[in-house]
Chains A and B, each alone.
Chain A
């Protein structure tokens, strides 16, 4: 039986006098794979930061039923982390900080913590990186380590900000499959933001579509439809399905059809 992990209710966000999000409502249930889909600058990162409590919403609230706010069990994988090359931290140490890095005080790490670190490195297929200096990793390696770091505290929900950006199609598929496996084996719900819906179609239970500062959420088939998205954008939108891929084409009479993405342009 699934229960709700996080419930976002009527959230408005204004940043610098601009309305970034309006009346956002959705929830994430245990074990679900959710895609937060929207074009660049649509407010995906803002929404994730609101969920993490890093930005206070102007109106509305983010509720974590079951857990008090400071012990909510959520792991976060940001899009990029600026790491100092010379930081004296092995990958192993960095992952362990995901468990206790926020805790003040003197306490030894138990063998149990270290074995959990190993387990998570194994889960993201990064065991061979364990002894490396954290600043020496490549972008792809660092992403896996960040996932292990987020997983080590055994979160109920893993938030990933654009983990598929700047990846070639093969690598994208690898990461999506890895995440699907992690979700299943670690019993963790996953919410990841992306600007392209297609690579997630096979694994996603629910989509949160964000456009024009509004969101629509639900099962993919119920959200990615011309009527729902047209209402979201405030003007007519076509949804085209070609060879199992979904193309969202927005546009108006004067500028002609404009696809959400350059690679999806429909002439």
Chain B
């Protein structure tokens, strides 16, 4: 039963396999790491499992002229004459919605590249019209592609209409946030963003290994969120736990190398000695529940007068 899945890697495999009951998978990417790695992975799962001819893999392109090798049907939205014609074409490739789901071996796959090229007012209608019990939709949305003002001008009367991203995230049953593993030359995501804002794309991006944040919405309304590191060459998925992330953020001697001519790093021996130093006031904390205990150790030169009532605070 899908609801009893507790292993995040199995859940991810089921999502990529299209065996998880998720009708609309939304891939959110940027120029730094595009969704092509995830799409390749879904197609790999799909094609490696069966060689049968009833595999229906539809690639809906709003902006690319290339038909992927794996696609059984290629729909170039502009070439076919717009969204309405494309919708009819996609529907014609899919099995009839009346056909019983159990009668078919596998779900069809509809890959959309990308949803940025549609006006937001038409998004929900488009997704709803191609949705089918026999198909899973995998749509890409580029987070860093600004929305065209020509799209917005058609919607001037809809001031409070949600953004395209908000709409898609609301509709999606699974959301995959795709981010790159930062190359050594980049310290953090802010620095990466600064580079991308000036169109100075750093080396080491769009790699075979990348990070994936999976948000899977269950039928109950609960969301499962996991972070993975994916290698789409070896097809391996590693779960990234919070502990791993904290360890990655910890200071390592390598971080301090080459920063200055001074030696800022600490050796293992120095670290061990540092850990053995007894810090002051630690003893007071051991009293725990007694609360407020004051520990005072008399020293040789302390001047203590037994008759002075204000001398002894105890």
A binds B: no
